[in-house]
Amino acid sequence: MFLRYSVDRIVRSVKQCYSTKTKLATLTNTERVKFLRQMALPKSREDPVILKLDTPDFHSLFTDELKSLASLFKEYGYEVRIAGGAVRDLLSGVKPTDLDFATTATPAQMKEMFTAESVRMINANGEKHGTITPRINDKENFEVTTLRIDVVTDGRHAEVQFTTDWLLDALRRDLTINSMFLGLDGSVYDYFYGYDDLQARRVKFVGDPVTRIQEDYLRILRYFRFYGKISKEPDQHDEETLKAIRDNKEGLKNVSGERIWMELKKTLEGKFAGELLLKIIECGLGPLIGLPENPNVHELKLVLERSRGLKLNPITLLSATLYNQDDAAALNARLKLSVFERDLAVFIVEHRPPKPNIKPLMPYQQLVLKINNKFGYQYVVEVLKYNNSSYLEEFQKWTIPKFPVTGNMLKGKGVESGRKMGLVIAELRNYWADHEYKLTPDEILKQLPNVLDVLAEKRKNK
């Protein structure tokens, strides 16, 4: 029977032993695992096997390549199980798209086995994390990771110890719903009641939330992502969990913007995106993830109310919390956005105010024509969604007209190829757009002398 005490106690004891270079640091691998097993563990099942899967989705995973992989591990006497998200998905009635595997074999043992069986291995960098990636039948890759214990963590990285103990590997994972394993015979191993939480649509950390968060501060945002994925209601958070998040939020300062955006983006693409963004701000995370010191919550609530039922781009949601283009630049500096995302944030902040016109769509159509890049149309669609414009559907049916003046026409008028021609075309395109894109080529080319004068004056002023 496993002891049932706070996970906080075990981790603090482990860290204390290790940091003072006392008992844990001097133990052999076998002694260290035994020592951990003797210490207090969070509440866990006496028998971790809770059911046996026998579903079409489960059986469909067994390609010839997976069967070959399973046979190899069995032949060499190592256990291998499906781990993490794929188990959660199968138990939710969803066929997983990615499979991760855990095993009792060390990386060295796996390499020896695969080499002996002439199985090619790829992604050599994974070995330092305990992961070996065999390519079976030169057709399918499998990521297989050795069971491990996080001995020392700094909130971003962990020093690990390999183990053959499945419970201790489950203990180091973030959420109970992600801590389950699935044997290749269909047996579901659930040490920390993840299946119960999955059925109840609860998102809980394994054991003490403070300890789990301090092991990797990105888990703060992973909590919100999985809340949107699992929960039935937008605001049924466990207060102890929210307190742990608030108390440890400063740890996000040391997490890279790329990792933060990876989790935050998935959260804002899922269910309850707006409500979760409000909760993230309420917990004081805004400035730590690139939002203003006091995010524009009032504007965000207005956008959420009027755009209900529309699918907003994650950047569109975040832009509602920004006040100006400087805020958009700060967001990009923190999250390292793509060019599309960076420019979308700037565009929304600049163009979200109303554009009164007797022809309501004309200002937006003119924007697309003047921007003249592959993203301009999408930017305008997001602004219209942001404002829940009644003209959104009409705009989406609009066919973008082709600018009727070509480079050859300009060459015939003596305009040099290259950068100058690009500037001339841009000015003429703006003139055409300002005249509701109805001018003929001849009417547009009549403006060429004026455009050349304007460009010459600009060059002179520089």
Q: How confident is the model at residue 437 (pLDDT cuts 50, 70, 90)?
A: very high
CATH number at residue 392: 1.10.3090.10
Considering the domain architecture, whether residues 253 and 299 belong to the same structural domain is answered as no
Considering the domain architecture, whether residues 122 and 171 belong to the same structural domain is answered as yes
Q: For the segment 231-263, what is each residue's pLDDT rounded down to a tens digit?
A: 999 999 999 999 999 999 999 999 999 999 999
In a domain, 389, yes or no: yes
pLDDT of residue 99: 95
Calpha distance 425→407 (Å, rounded)? 8
**Mean of all residue pLDDT scores within the chain:** 90
Q: Any idea what DSSP says for residue 289? A: G
Q: What is the pTM of this model?
A: 0.86
pLDDT of residue 231: 96
pLDDT of residue 149: 87
pLDDT at 287 over 60: yes
CATH number at residue 271: 1.10.110.30
In a domain, 14, yes or no: yes
Helix, coil or strand: residue 336: coil
Report the pLDDT averaged over residues 295-306.
Answer: 97
Q: For the segment 334-375, what is each residue's pLDDT rounded down to a tens digit?
A: 999 999 999 999 999 999 999 999 999 999 999 999 988 889
The share of the chain scoring above pLDDT 90, in percent, equals 79
Q: Which domain holds residue 437?
A: 407-461
In a domain, 402, yes or no: no
Considering the domain architecture, whether residues 271 and 337 belong to the same structural domain is answered as no
The share of the chain scoring above pLDDT 70, in percent, equals 89
pLDDT at 159 over 90: no
DSSP string, 414-446: TPPSSHHHHHHHHHHHHHHHHTTT---HHHHHT
Question: Are β-strands 131-136 and 120-122 bridged in parallel, bridged antiparallel, or unpaired?
Answer: antiparallel
Report the pLDDT averaged over residues 192-204.
Answer: 97
Q: How confident is the model at residue 32 (pLDDT cuts 50, 70, 90)?
A: low
pLDDT of residue 459: 83
> Total structural domains in the chain?
4
List of residues 6+ apart from 201 with CB closer than 8 A: 230, 231, 232
Residues 134, 164, 79: CA angle, nearest 5 degrees: 50
Considering the domain architecture, whether residues 281 and 295 belong to the same structural domain is answered as no
In a domain, 448, yes or no: yes
pLDDT of residue 290: 98
Considering the domain architecture, whether residues 282 and 296 belong to the same structural domain is answered as no
Could you tell me the two tokens for 212? 């789990």
Q: 237, 272, 289: which is the final residue of a domain?
A: 289
pLDDT of residue 31: 65
pLDDT of residue 270: 95
Calpha distance 447→452 (Å, rounded)? 9
In a domain, 112, yes or no: yes
Question: Rg of the Cα trace of the chain?
Answer: 29
* 149 CB burial (10 A radius; 0-12, 13-18, 19+): buried
- Select the more confidently predicted residue: 31 or 372: 372
